[in-house]
């Protein structure tokens, strides 16, 4: 029975095989291990392992972790909105321009070329107390005294979100651009001939046809926004907690692989839930339209 | 079917061949350190060749940042393919190596350490009274200050807590913002700084809330309003940048800043001295690097020979005369490079008041809680005694996890 | 009316450019400014004292630049090629399934990316080290692929899903095999999307740090090498390296501009 299926679909199977082998053996197994680890009570090597929720209890009892949860949600939300918004605007503009403005396109991709560590340091130059952002704001008279971006709390969350947005908007722009390219121009022409306004065209033609790319962008970036780790660590160290840095520090600094695993699993759960909610919300049409 | 299947296989084969490199089986010693480029130059030109010739080996030396060593060693050890034979590591980052059981116990080789090496340095390599590392390089923080600014305002570099507070207040008054930098970023830099302040107040840092600790925190609370705003992001690397940009006129940092600020950037307004004393004296934490041998190192004997070589008088003289590194041995005298003379004097002076931080496996937890206590007490003005007590309890709870 | 539209576009693009480019401008400025412009409390907005010393210093110690640059380039390039070689067929196959299976599969593939690096970087690195791939380019490429394939697949599935199935059906009816239909009909028209996936893979691999720190020793990649300068607070070297690291990417995107054209689908689909 199985080999009849394979025979019929041999093309598909062959296409999928490398990917499946690669991902299955290399990632799925470690992930399952991490999940198992998170449900084990910490015991010295050699002793029998037992199923327990103690790591999760431990995490949720720590104020720092609950703070990290909230921070992660806020940063992810703000970053996503900014990235997708800006990326969409840029993609729309670039898809409809020609000649001169085209030159700007590679320039907008540059932030992606800068390694995250350098982005962190540069953002440090911008957001420090005597940094460029404060200078520009005070020189133009927008604020009276410099802002403490790095003092923790909402301002620092904004700072990290902005830094992440800066680096990643080009990515969103590229994905949406690719999606916009595959929309047939004759549809626009036909709609204009029928007298449709730009807004109508956007809502009824562009947006629905762009949905697959939009979903791709939101999911790809959304997942990474939740997992954010390098920028908060570089900019704020242990002063701004997000789950990504929490898992990292638990493992690398405090030698606690169990709580680190539990944090990772919690993050995994959060992201999975968010993705499923999103998919539910946009319905069948939005996902991967034919 | 044919083309698109053969092609990827082909690529894969080529890549496999590209990936496999023939391993050279002749004697090599692979070691890792974290050094500046000028320092690497001296090692490669003056220190490695005699050893290579004497023992007929090739030394492969690589740079690894202190934060990345533990994870690399762990990966190599679990995979059973230890590629690193010997490493040098910052002595503030040793706890994780012990906790993950990555290092070879060196108790039996304690006798190979030459007599003239200062015994406190040997003590600093012990965990639970077992020798787990070997001394390599003692280091201590010195204080950098902006001599232009100090001369302009007719100020002297502060030698006591009172003077420090006075200078901070005066600078803030004259310039409208704080110009004294405290390392408030958190983690090990902040913890080390607090450690020194507590010692200078006569306290026992690991006790967390004894009289000395309370006095130190009270002083820091008093000092903070006059400190530079950049303190929040000040750690070892950002401090250099802040000093160079003249956002702060006084800051304590490790001597590598000398190479960056004085030698590379040639900033002649940066001067150094050993630091200040508290009510109970001048104390500075001795940091530096130590040698370690990974548990499954392939060249244990050779590594030990290299360590012995590094401890020799000849090599110590080279390190002192070419790099300005204060020596491990008490019997080494040499002339320091001219641009280093003044900072070196500062380093020597600071070392004279040097204290070794006791090695404990729960240092990361201590650093975490004392930094948070710092935030709450010094920056957010929480009451000193109560807050310290709360964090002390948290630390005690975590300490119990380290009993092994 | 048209002109006004173009003008308003121009204004928006310019404003966003300035905002987006400002950090890059800062880096660039540092890399070509004399120390006196940087080491002062109020550095000027514009470049006042120009110097090429920093670049000269880096190039004179030529060895330290070329090796990591080469390693990063080779790794990123091969990673992007492999990600397409593995991803394109797989994504195409997935995109032709019933949509429920499609999104279950894609979600499953993507789940591998939902976990923070730290938890699985170690086991994955250990696997590669056991295979003898420590400090090899191949090992690094494979490790990068682990993180990049899900994204690349995701984009490609979107691209192929948006491609109307009628065109292939047409080709199949005309007697072509599945493979020919794919190569001759689908690929030329989805080249834009495929190159986007390729560029992404390149950029993500270029920027990757975690696996590079686990799996390299003698030959670090550019991000790893730059971390060294950053960790010492060395302003000029970090900034200069940062400027240098953007050049290959600029060149690459300029070169691939032509594949991201809007005119590809004009006239291909008859109404």
What does the domain layout of chain B look like in residue ranges?
Answer: 21-139+287-347, 142-285+359-402
C181 shares contact with chain B (CB less than 8 Å): no
Q: Over chain C, what is the mean pLDDT? A: 80
B375 shares contact with chain A (CB less than 8 Å): yes
Closest chain A residue to B72, measured at CA: A252
Residue B23 pLDDT grade (very low, low, confident, very high; cuts 50, 70, 90):
very low
Which chains contact B through at least 3 pairs of Cβ atoms less than 8 Å apart? A, C
Using only C-alpha atoms, chain B has a radius of gyration, in whole angstroms, of 24
Residue reference for tokens 């040997």: B122
Residue reference for tokens 């110690």: C61
Q: Do C222 and A182 touch (CB under 8 A)?
A: no
Going by C-alpha positions, the residue among B262, A166, A121 that lies closest to residue C241 is A121
**In this predicted structure, which of A86-95, B130-139, B374-383 has the lowest mean pLDDT?**
A86-95
Residue C257 pLDDT grade (very low, low, confident, very high; cuts 50, 70, 90):
low
Question: How many CB contacts within 8 angstroms connect chain A with chain B?
Answer: 52
Q: Report the CATH number that the domain containing residue A87 is assigned in CATH.
A: 1.10.3720.10
Q: Which two tokens stand for residue B63?
A: 């740079």
Does position B17 have pLDDT exceeding 80, yes or no? Answer: no
Going by C-alpha positions, the residue among B32, B27, B28 that lies closest to residue B84 is B32
3-state SS class at B248: coil
The alpha carbon of residue C51 is apart from the nearest alpha carbon of chain A, in Å, by 20
Phi-psi region of B194 (alpha: psi -120 to 50; beta: other; left: phi over 0): alpha
CA distance C149 to B239: 40
Q: Please, are residues C269 and A189 in contact by the beta-carbon 8 Å criterion?
A: no
Q: Any idea where the domains of chain C sit in the sequence?
A: 1-51, 65-265
Top-confidence residue, B126 or C103: B126
Nearest CB among A126, A230, A284 relative to C23 is that of A126
Give domain B21-139+287-347's CATH number out of 3.40.50.2000, 3.40.190.10, 3.40.50.1970, 2.40.128.280.
3.40.190.10
Measured N-to-C along each axis, helices B2-19 and C137-162 cross at an angle, to the nearest 10 degrees, of 150
Q: Residue A248, Cα to own-chain centre: how many angstroms? A: 18
From chain C, the residues in CB contact with B62 under 8 A are 217-218
Mean of pLDDT values over B217-226: 94
Chain B interface mutation, best of A255, A257, A258, A260, highest count of B Cβ atoms under 10 Å: A255
ipTM: 0.81
From chain A, the residues in CB contact with B186 under 8 A are 237-239
C-contacting residues of B 52-71, CB under 8 Å?
60, 62-65, 67-68, 71
Top-confidence residue, A200 or B345: B345
Q: Which helix (H) or strand (E) holds B7?
A: helix B2-19
CA torsion A36-A39-A44-A50 (nearest 10°) is -100
**Superfamily (CATH H level) for B142-285+359-402:** Periplasmic binding protein-like II (3.40.190.10)
Mean of pLDDT values over B276-282: 92
Q: Do A178 and C161 touch (CB under 8 A)?
A: no
Confidence (pLDDT) at A45: 61
**In this predicted structure, which of A40-49, B202-211, B258-267, C55-64 has the lowest mean pLDDT?**
A40-49
Mean of pLDDT values over B325-350: 84
Q: Residues B64-81, buried b or exposed e (16+ Cβ, 10 A)? A: bbbbbbbbbbbbbbbbeb
Using only C-alpha atoms, chain A has a radius of gyration, in whole angstroms, of 23
DSSP A45-84: TTSPP-B--HHHHHHHH-HHHHHHHHHHHHHHHHHHHHHH
| Residue C1: exposure state from Cβ atoms within 10 A (0-12, 13-18, ≥19) | exposed
Q: Residues B163-186, buried b or exposed e (16+ Cβ, 10 A)? A: ebbebbbebbeeeebbbbbbbbbb
Going by C-alpha positions, the residue among C105, C188, C173, C166 that lies closest to residue A15 is C105
Confidence (pLDDT) at B13: 57
Confidence (pLDDT) at B22: 44
Question: How many CB contacts within 8 angstroms connect chain B with chain C?
Answer: 110
Measured N-to-C along each axis, helices A257-287 and A63-95 cross at an angle, to the nearest 10 degrees, of 30
Task: Give the fold, CATH level 3, of C65-265.
Answer: MetI-like fold (1.10.3720)
From chain C, the residues in CB contact with B79 under 8 A are 125-127, 129-130, 134
Q: Which helix (H) or strand (E) holds B199?
A: helix B187-200
Spell out the residues 6+ positions from residue C200 whose beta carbon is closer than 8 angstroms to its own. A171, A174, C80, C148, C151, C152, C155
Domains B21-139+287-347 and B142-285+359-402 share a fold: yes
Q: Do B364 and A238 touch (CB under 8 A)?
A: no
Q: Which domain holds residue A177?
A: 56-287
Nearest CB among C22, C149, C257 relative to A106 is that of C257
CA distances from C62 to A50, B174, C227, C249 (A): 56, 47, 18, 20
CA distance A164 to A158: 10
User: A219 in a domain, yes or no?
Assistant: yes
Q: Do B7 and C38 touch (CB under 8 A)?
A: no
What sign results for the dihedral spanned by CA atoms B4, B5, B10, B12?
positive
B244 shares contact with chain C (CB less than 8 Å): yes
Q: Do C20 and A111 touch (CB under 8 A)?
A: yes
Q: Which two tokens stand for residue A29?
A: 């197994």
Q: Do C217 and B32 touch (CB under 8 A)?
A: yes
Nearest CB among C86, C222, C267 relative to A22 is that of C86
Query: What's the pLDDT tens digit per position in B99-108?
Result: 889 999 999 9
Confidence (pLDDT) at A289: 42
Spell out the residues 6+ positions from residue B244 whose beta carbon is closer than 8 angstroms to its own. B261, B265, B267, B270, C38, C39, C235
Q: Residues B268-300, buried b or exposed e (16+ Cβ, 10 A)? A: ebbbbbbbbbbeeebbbbbbbbbbbbbbebebb
Q: Do B229 and A237 touch (CB under 8 A)?
A: no
Residue reference for tokens 């699993």: A265
From chain A, the residues in CB contact with B229 under 8 A are 129-130, 146, 148
Going by C-alpha positions, the residue among C120, C160, C268 that lies closest to residue A216 is C160
Q: Please, are residues A246 and A265 in contact by the beta-carbon 8 Å criterion?
A: no
CA distance B181 to B242: 9
Q: Which helix (H) or strand (E) holds B267?
A: none
Q: Over chain B, what is the mean pLDDT? A: 87
Q: Please list the pLDDT of chain A residue by residue as tens digits (290 residues).
A: 667 666 667 777 777 878 888 887 788 888 888 888 888 877 666 666 778 788 888 888 888 899 999 999 999 999 999 999 988 888 887 777 666 666 777 777 788 878 888 888 888 888 888 888 888 888 888 877 888 888 878 889 999 999 999 999 988 888 888 778 777 777 778 887 887 777 777 777 788 878 877 887 888 889 999 999 889 988 888 888 899 999 998 888 888 888 899 999 999 999 989 988 888 887 765 544 43
Confidence (pLDDT) at A100: 64
The alpha carbon of residue B345 is apart from the nearest alpha carbon of chain A, in Å, by 32
Going by C-alpha positions, the residue among B57, B51, B7, B41 that lies closest to residue B299 is B57
Q: Please, are residues B339 and B263 in contact by the beta-carbon 8 Å criterion?
A: yes
3-state SS class at A125: helix
C-contacting residues of A 105-164, CB under 8 Å?
105-119, 121-123, 125-126, 130, 132, 135
3-state SS class at B207: helix
Going by C-alpha positions, the residue among B90, C116, B196 that lies closest to residue A233 is C116
> Which residue(s) pair with A123 in the sheet?
none
Does position B312 have pLDDT exceeding 70, yes or no? Answer: yes
C35 shares contact with chain A (CB less than 8 Å): no
Q: Do C234 and B37 touch (CB under 8 A)?
A: no
Spell out the residues 6+ positions from residue C216 whose beta carbon is closer than 8 angstroms to its own. C71, C135, C140, C224
> Which residue(s) pair with B90 in the sheet?
B289
CA distance A278 to A116: 28
The alpha carbon of residue C60 is apart from the nearest alpha carbon of chain A, in Å, by 23
CA torsion B207-B211-B212-B217 (nearest 10°) is 90
Strand segments (E) across chain A: none
From chain C, the residues in CB contact with B81 under 8 A are 129-130, 132, 134
Using only C-alpha atoms, chain C has a radius of gyration, in whole angstroms, of 23
From chain B, the residues in CB contact with A254 under 8 A are 364-365, 368, 398
Q: Do A122 and C150 touch (CB under 8 A)?
A: no
Q: Do C217 and B267 touch (CB under 8 A)?
A: no
Going by C-alpha positions, the residue among A108, A79, B241, A134 that lies closest to residue C24 is A108
Q: Which helix (H) or strand (E) holds B86?
A: strand B86-90
Phi, psi for residue B134 in degrees, rounded to 5: -125, 145
**In this predicted structure, which of A49-58, B262-271, B372-381 has the lowest mean pLDDT?**
A49-58
Q: Please, are residues A244 and A267 in contact by the beta-carbon 8 Å criterion?
A: yes
Mean of pLDDT values over B156-160: 93
The alpha carbon of residue B251 is apart from the nearest alpha carbon of chain C, in Å, by 14
B-contacting residues of C 230-249, CB under 8 Å?
230-236
Domain count, chain A: 1
DSSP B128-169: TTEE-SEEEEEEE-EEEEEHHHHHHTT-----BHHHHHHHHH
pTM: 0.85
CA distances from C227 to A113, A131, B16, C51 (A): 15, 21, 29, 24
């Amino acid at each position: 029975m199985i080999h009849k299926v394979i025979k019929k679909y041999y093309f598909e199977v062959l296409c999928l095989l490398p990917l499946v082998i690669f991902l299955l053996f290399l990632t799925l197994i470690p992930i399952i291990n991490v999940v198992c680890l998170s449900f084990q009570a910490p015991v010295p090597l050699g002793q029998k392992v037992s199923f327990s929720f103690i790591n999760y209890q431990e995490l949720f009892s720590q104020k720092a972790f609950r703070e990290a949860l909230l921070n992660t949600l806020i940063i992810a939300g703000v970053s996503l909105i900014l990235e997708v918004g800006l990326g969409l605007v840029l993609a729309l503009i670039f898809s409809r321009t020609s000649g001169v403005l085209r030159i700007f396109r590679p320039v907008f991709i540059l932030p992606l070329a800068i390694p995250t560590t350098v982005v962190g340091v540069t953002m440090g130059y911008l957001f420090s107390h005597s940094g460029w952002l404060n200078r520009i704001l005070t020189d133009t008279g927008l604020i009276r005294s410099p802002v403490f971006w790095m003092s923790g709390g909402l301002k620092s969350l904004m700072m990290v979100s902005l830094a992440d947005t800066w680096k990643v908007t080009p990515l969103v722009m590229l994905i949406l651009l690719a999606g916009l390219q595959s929309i047939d121009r004759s549809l626009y022409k036909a709609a204009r001939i029928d007298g449709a306004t730009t807004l109508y065209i956007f809502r009824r033609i562009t947006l629905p046809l762009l949905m697959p790319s939009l979903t791709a962008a939101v999911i790809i970036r959304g997942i990474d926004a939740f997992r954010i780790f390098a920028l908060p660590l570089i900019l704020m160290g242990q002063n701004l907690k997000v789950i990504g840095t929490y898992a990292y520090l638990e493992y690398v600094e405090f030698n606690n692989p169990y709580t680190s695993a539990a944090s990772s699993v919690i993050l995994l759960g959060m992201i999975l839930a968010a993705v499923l909610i999103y998919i539910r919300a946009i319905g069948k049409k939005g996902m991967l339209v034919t | 079917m044919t083309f698109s299947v053969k092609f990827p296989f082909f690529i894969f084969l080529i890549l496999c061949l590209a990936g496999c490199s023939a391993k050279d089986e002749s004697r090599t010693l692979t070691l890792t350190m974290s050094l500046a480029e000028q320092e690497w130059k001296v090692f490669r030109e003056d220190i490695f060749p005699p050893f290579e010739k004497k023992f007929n080996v090739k030394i492969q030396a690589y740079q690894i940042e202190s934060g990345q060593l533990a994870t690399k060693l762990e990966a190599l050890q679990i995979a059973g393919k230890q590629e690193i034979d010997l490493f040098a590591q910052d002595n503030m980052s040793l706890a994780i190596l012990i906790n993950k059981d990555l290092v070879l116990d060196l108790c039996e080789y304690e006798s190979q350490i030459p007599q003239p090496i200062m015994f406190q340095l040997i003590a600093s390599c012990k965990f639970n009274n077992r020798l787990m590392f070997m001394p390599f390089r003692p280091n201590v923080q010195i204080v950098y200050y902006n001599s232009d600014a100090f001369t302009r305002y007719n100020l002297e570099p502060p030698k006591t807590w009172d003077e420090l507070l006075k200078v901070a207040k005066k600078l803030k008054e004259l310039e409208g913002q704080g110009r004294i930098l405290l390392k408030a970023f958190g983690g090990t830099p902040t913890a080390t700084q607090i450690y020194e302040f507590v010692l200078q107040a006569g306290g026992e840092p690991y006790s967390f809330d004894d009289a000395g600790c309370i006095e130190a925190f009270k002083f820091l609370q008093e000092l903070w309003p006059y400190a530079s705003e950049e303190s929040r992001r000040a750690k070892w690397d950002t401090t250099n940048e802040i000093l160079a940009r003249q956002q702060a006129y006084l800051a304590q940092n490790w001597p590598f800043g000398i190479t960056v600020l004085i030698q590379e950037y040639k900033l002649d307004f940066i001067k150094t001295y050993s630091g200040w004393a508290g009510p109970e004296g001048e104390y500075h934490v001795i940091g530096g690097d130590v040698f370690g041998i990974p548990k499954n190192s392939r060249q244990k004997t050779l590594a030990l020979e290299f360590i012995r070589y590094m401890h020799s008088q000849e090599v110590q003289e080279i390190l002192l005369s070419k790099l300005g590194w204060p020596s491990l041995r008490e019997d080494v005298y040499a002339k320091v490079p001219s641009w280093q003379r003044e900072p070196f004097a500062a380093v020597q002076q600071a070392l004279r008041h040097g204290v070794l931080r006791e090695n404990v496996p729960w240092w990361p937890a201590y650093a975490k809680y004392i930094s948070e206590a710092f935030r709450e007490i010094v920056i957010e003005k929480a009451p000193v005694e109560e807050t310290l007590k709360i964090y002390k309890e948290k630390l005690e709870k975590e300490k119990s996890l380290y009993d092994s | 009316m048209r002109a006004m539209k173009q003008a308003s576009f121009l204004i928006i693009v310019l404003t966003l450019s300035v905002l987006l480019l400002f950090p890059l401008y800062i880096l660039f400025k540092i890399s070509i400014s004399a120390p006196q412009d940087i080491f002062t409390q109020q550095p000027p907005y514009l470049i006042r004292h120009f110097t090429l010393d920093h670049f000269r210093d880096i190039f004179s110690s030529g060895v330290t630049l070329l090796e990591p640059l080469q390693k990063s380039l080779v790794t990123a390039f091969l990673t992007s090629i492999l990600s397409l070689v593995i991803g394109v067929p797989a994504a195409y196959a997935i995109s032709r399934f019933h949509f429920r299976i499609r999104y279950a599969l894609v979600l499953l593939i993507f789940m591998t990316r939902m976990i923070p690096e730290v938890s699985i970087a170690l086991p994955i690195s250990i696997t590669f080290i056991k295979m003898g791939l420590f400090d090899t380019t191949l090992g690094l490429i494979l490790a990068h692929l682990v993180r990049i394939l899900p994204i690349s697949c995701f984009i490609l599935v979107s691209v192929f899903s948006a491609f109307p199935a009628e065109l292939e059906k047409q080709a199949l009816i005309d007697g072509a095999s599945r493979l020919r239909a794919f190569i001759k009909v689908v690929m030329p028209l989805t080249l834009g999307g495929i190159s986007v996936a390729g560029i992404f893979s390149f950029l993500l691999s270029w920027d990757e740090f975690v696996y590079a720190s686990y799996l390299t020793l003698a030959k670090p990649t550019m991000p790893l090498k730059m971390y060294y300068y950053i960790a010492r607070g060395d302003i000029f070297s970090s900034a200069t390296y940062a400027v240098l690291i953007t050049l290959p990417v600029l060149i690459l995107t300029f070169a691939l501009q032509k594949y991201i054209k809007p005119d590809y689908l004009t006239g291909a689909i008859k109404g």
